[in-house]
């Protein structure tokens, strides 16, 4: 497992980590040159950083960062999402705060920013997960809607054609996410994805399932994952990391290592995770060959491609 800690010059918030997916480097960079990804990550960091510096909440910051990634067609979320075997985009997203509140959407087809819809589920309903939210819900929640064509890019269409023609294996990577701590010391996570290239219509991955691809607790950490969704669901990976910390007494580094070894490696699965504890320990980790990620530690920002 590859890992790096985000350096800290002082304790407490604000602090922000983001990721733009994990997997074989060539698979992702086939869409565009690496410098375009670096700019996309930097733009997302700036969006989250601006929110934190304005005194907004950790939830505001992670949503701002993820919205920036959803609006960037290079990343597999929102516009530029991977396409189903029918050539449509079905997107999942989730948010969670350290006090245990959460919201998620799955198989979203109309919402411009699924992460904003996930937040609406948390704040405007009594539910945690809504599958295939329709136009009526989008209007009720005040969501910006887009036609199907908005989400489909030429890059993703070509990628789907290659997969359906069996000239390319389906990439099992490409999720975006963020974790943050605000000035009050509160933590939150947000994750969003377009899923797998050529996935069946109606397939739901780990991103929209609280505890699998996303989790946050003031007793452990805010966590956002990317990778092979089915394995993250089977291993309930995000919650497993948190549980090892809360109930087993492991620190973040050990908890991540042990979860990857016991839940991902044994399944032959790859992926990546960003995590942030209430004490300010921040970690970017992956067992894939590459991971797009970045951080802002309150002073400096850095991206990794």
pLDDT over 50 (residue 291): yes
Task: Sketch the domain layout of the chain as residue ranges.
Answer: 2-304
Contacts by residues 204-207 (CB-CB < 8 Å, ≥ 24 positions apart): 204/92, 204/106, 204/107, 204/131, 205/92, 205/229, 205/230, 205/232, 205/233, 206/230, 206/232, 206/233, 206/237, 206/238, 207/92, 207/93, 207/94, 207/175
DSSP H stretches of helix in the chain: 25-29, 34-53, 58-70, 114-124, 135-141, 148-151, 154-164, 229-234, 237-246, 252-259
What pLDDT band is residue 172 in, cutting at 50, 70 and 90? low
Q: Parallel, antiparallel, or unpaired: how do β-strands 175-181 and 15-23 relate?
A: antiparallel
State the pLDDT at residue 29.
Answer: 46
The whole-number average pLDDT for the span 87-103 is: 98
Domain 2-304 fold: 3.60.20
Is there a binding annotation on residue 204?
A: yes
d(CA 195, CA 207) in angstroms, rounded, equals 8
pLDDT over 70 (residue 7): no
d(CA 305, CA 218) in angstroms, rounded, equals 30
Catalytic residue among 27, 84, 97, 175: 175
Instruction: Summarize pLDDT for 210-259 with one digit per residue, the tens.
Output: 999 999 999 999 999 999 999 999 999 999 999 999 999 999 999 999 99
User: Which is higher by pLDDT, 70 or 23?
Assistant: 70
Instruction: Summarize pLDDT for 20-46 with one digit per residue, the tens.
Output: 999 876 455 445 566 789 999 999 999
* Mean pLDDT lowest among 25-29, 65-69, 170-174, 289-293: 25-29
State the pLDDT at residue 33.
Answer: 60
Instruction: Summarize pLDDT for 173-196 with one digit per residue, the tens.
Output: 689 999 999 999 999 999 999 999
Sign of CA dihedral 140, 143, 147, 153: negative
Is 88 an annotated catalytic residue? Answer: no
283 φ/ψ angles, rounded to the nearest 5 degrees: -140, 140
Instruction: Summarize pLDDT for 112-169 with one digit per residue, the tens.
Output: 999 999 999 999 999 999 999 998 999 999 999 999 999 999 999 999 999 898 866 6
What pLDDT band is residue 296 in, cutting at 50, 70 and 90? very high
Contact in structure between 251 and 278 (CB atoms under 8 Å):
no
Is there a binding annotation on residue 227?
A: yes
Is there a binding annotation on residue 228?
A: yes
Angstrom distances, CA of residue 279 to CA of 180, 186, 248: 12, 10, 17
d(CA 256, CA 229) in angstroms, rounded, equals 17
Is there a binding annotation on residue 131?
A: no
d(CA 32, CA 58) in angstroms, rounded, equals 31
Judge if pTM exceeds 0.75: yes
């Amino acid at each position: 497992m590859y890992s790096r800690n985000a350096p800290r010059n002082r304790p407490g918030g604000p602090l922000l980590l983001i990721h733009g997916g994990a997997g074989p480097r060539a698979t992702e960079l086939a869409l565009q040159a690496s410098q375009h990804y670096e700019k996309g990550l930097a733009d997302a960091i700036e969006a989250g950083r601006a929110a934190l510096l304005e005194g907004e909440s950790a939830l505001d910051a992670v949503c701002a960062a993820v919205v920036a990634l959803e609006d960037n067609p290079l990343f597999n979320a929102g516009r530029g999402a991977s396409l189903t075997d029918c050539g449509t985009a079905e997107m999942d997203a989730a948010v969670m705060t350290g006090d245990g509140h959460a919201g998620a959407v799955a198989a979203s087809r109309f919402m411009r920013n699924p992460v904003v819809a996930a937040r609406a589920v948390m704040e405007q309903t009594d539910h945690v997960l809504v599958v295939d939210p329709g136009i009526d819900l989008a209007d009720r929640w005040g969501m910006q809607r887009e036609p199907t064509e908005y989400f489909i890019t030429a890059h993703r269409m070509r990628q789907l054609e290659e997969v359906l023609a069996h000239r390319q294996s389906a990439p099992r990577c490409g999720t975006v996410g963020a974790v943050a701590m605000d000035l009050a010391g509160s933590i939150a996570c947000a994750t969003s994805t377009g899923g797998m290239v050529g996935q069946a219509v109606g397939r739901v991955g780990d991103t929209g399932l609280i505890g699998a691809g996303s989790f946050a607790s003031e007793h452990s950490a805010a966590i956002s994952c990317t990778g092979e969704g089915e394995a993250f669901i089977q291993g309930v990976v995000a919650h497993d990391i948190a549980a090892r910390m809360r109930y087993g007494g492991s620190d973040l580094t050990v908890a991540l290592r042990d979860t990857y070894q016991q839940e991902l490696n044994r399944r032959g699965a790859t992926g990546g995770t960003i995590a942030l504890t209430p004490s300010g320990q921040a970690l970017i980790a992956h067992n894939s060959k590459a991971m797009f990620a970045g951080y802002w530690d309150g002073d400096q920002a850095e991206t990794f491609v």
